[in-house]
Structure 1
Amino acid sequence: MTDLQSNTAPGRTHFIVSAVVEEFIISIPSLDARFTCRSDQTILKAMIGQGLKPLAIGCRNGGCGVCRIRIQSGDHHSLPMSRSRVSTADEAAGIRLACRVYPASDLLIEPMPLTSLSLGKSQCRAA
Structure 2
Amino acid sequence: MDYIQFLIGAVLSLFLGGLLGWQRQRIGKTAGFRTYALVTFGSAFFTMISINAFESADQARVASQVITGIGFLGAGMIIHKNGRIVEGLTTAASLWASSAIGMAVGVGWYFEAITAALIMFLLLFIYKI
- Structures share fold, TM-score greater than 0.5: no
Higher relative strand content: 1
TM-score (norm 1): 0.29
TM-score (norm 2): 0.28
Higher relative helix content: 2
